[in-house]
Amino acid sequence: MTETQHDVRSLLAPLTAGALKSATRVWMAPLTRSRSRQPGDIPWELNAEYYAQRADPARGAAVIVSEATQISQQGKGYAFTPGVYSPEQVEGWKLVTNAVHEQGGLIVAQLWHVGRISHTALQPNGGKPVAPSAIRANSHTYVDDSMGRKPVSEPRALELDEIPGVIDQYRHAAQAAKDAGFDGIEIHGANGYLLQQFLRRSTNKRTDAYGGSLENRARLGIEVTRATLDVWGADRVGYRISPLGEGMDDPDDHPSETYGYVSTELGKLGLGFLHVVEQFGDAARTPETEPVLATIRQAFRESGGGAYIANGGYDGPTAAARIADDKADAVAFGKAFISNPDLADRFRRGADLAEWDRGTFYGGGAEGYTTYPALS
């Protein structure tokens, strides 16, 4: 056994995350690739091939978290991203889940509502995007090939009587994901999108039951999670958070308090896993942020939650060390999976990783999507 192989042993051990029997601790993080079929934001054969290439649980991803997938047209923020709410989308996702299962893999659907990170051209009837408060984000989105990249539109604040309808969108999408053959779901509560917009003081200026106190600001995310439990057992549901922030004008001055509370409440529901973006953009793991992550891990585990899935800036040895130190149960890799469909096998062999082509990350066809080879 080489030194590198020795270093990654803990990463290649099996894991039980709720009801998910994970062959290794190498998970695939959600990766927006903007290649759904238009019109209708429908997954198709090319998407199925891409996921199948990475689905061998011994050589690739033990668990795949799908690309962020909007729960409604209102939840859409970017061109060419898939949905999981129409019958046509469900049929498209069946191509993907069947292809993954044929390789022996597991795949969960990430349910996504972008909130204010959208443009009127993407919204139903050209309306304003919705948000907890009418605060425009300092951000851009890609609208379509004719309009290109545009600043996001000014949102409108959701009326109190509209919020049950948003919760129903998540419930409906959870059922659609189940009908499409997914093995579970992950609720996207991170990266400056709707559920995080409600959680952060900087984006939530409400004075009703969904604003003000931490308990009120966290309410929507918890209620959404409870709604999905009407469809799925808690042991097949995960939740994604980004406690350290990474832009989108949503800093949190008290992340230990905020996310300690959220993690405790999610743990009480018995969720199968918590997916934590530890490093992204300007946010990074440092000696100063380690206590925040430790608070979240402890809160989730001690309140009854399942696995802690770390994400952000890891390679094989650093991921394995994190797991060996009980600071993560598994690690979700993002960009490395774009160019290395057999990522776990490369970790096992101590092989070099192939470099990705950033120019083919978003949009286009097979090039830079299904054209990266595995090791022979």
Asked if the structure places residue 169 within a domain, the reply is yes
Which residue has tokens 């018995």?
270
β-pair partners for 27: 63, 332
Tell me the CATH number at 192.
3.20.20.70
**Is pLDDT at 6 greater than 70 in this prediction?**
no
Comparing CA positions, the residue from 223, 219, 277 lying closest to residue 245 is: 277
Asked if the structure places residue 195 within a domain, the reply is yes
Asked if the structure places residue 83 within a domain, the reply is yes
pLDDT at 250: 56
Asked if the structure places residue 300 within a domain, the reply is yes
Asked if the structure places residue 142 within a domain, the reply is yes
Q: How many domains does the chain have?
A: 1
Contact 184, 19 (CB under 8 A): yes
Instruction: Give whole-number Cα distances, 98 to 45, 51, 120, 271, 314, in Å.
Output: 11, 10, 35, 25, 29
Band the pLDDT of 5: cuts 50, 70, 90: low
Q: Which of 50, 85, 193, 261 is catalytic?
A: 193
Q: Print the domain residue range for 192.
A: 40-50+68-312
Q: How many residues does the chain have?
A: 376
* Mean of pLDDT values over 90-111: 99
Asked if the structure places residue 279 within a domain, the reply is yes
Per-residue pLDDT tens over the stretch 159-178:
999 999 999 999 999 999 99
**Is pLDDT at 1 greater than 50 in this prediction?**
no
SS3 call for 361: coil
**Is pLDDT at 281 greater than 80 in this prediction?**
no
* Mean of pLDDT values over 239-249: 78
Whether residue 85 lies in the annotated active site:
no
The sign of the torsion formed by the CA atoms of 26, 32, 35, 39 equals positive
Asked if the structure places residue 356 within a domain, the reply is no
* Mean of pLDDT values over 116-127: 98
Asked if the structure places residue 5 within a domain, the reply is no
The string of DSSP letters for 87-149 reads HHHHHHHHHHHHHHHHTT--EEEEEE--TTSS-GGGSGGGPPPEESSS---S-EEEEETTTEE
pLDDT at 249: 56
The string of DSSP letters for 223-262 reads HHHHHHTTTS-GGGEEEEE-TT--STT---S-HHHHHHHH
Per-residue pLDDT tens over the stretch 193-225:
999 999 999 999 999 999 999 999 999 999 999
Contact 68, 21 (CB under 8 A): no
Whether this model's pTM surpasses 0.95 = yes
Q: What is the DSSP letter of 327?
A: S
| The token pair that represents 271 in the structure block | 């969720």
Q: What is the dihedral of CA 340, 341, 347, 352, to 10 degrees?
A: -30
Q: What percent of the chain shows pLDDT beyond 70?
A: 97
Q: What percent of the chain shows pLDDT beyond 90?
A: 91
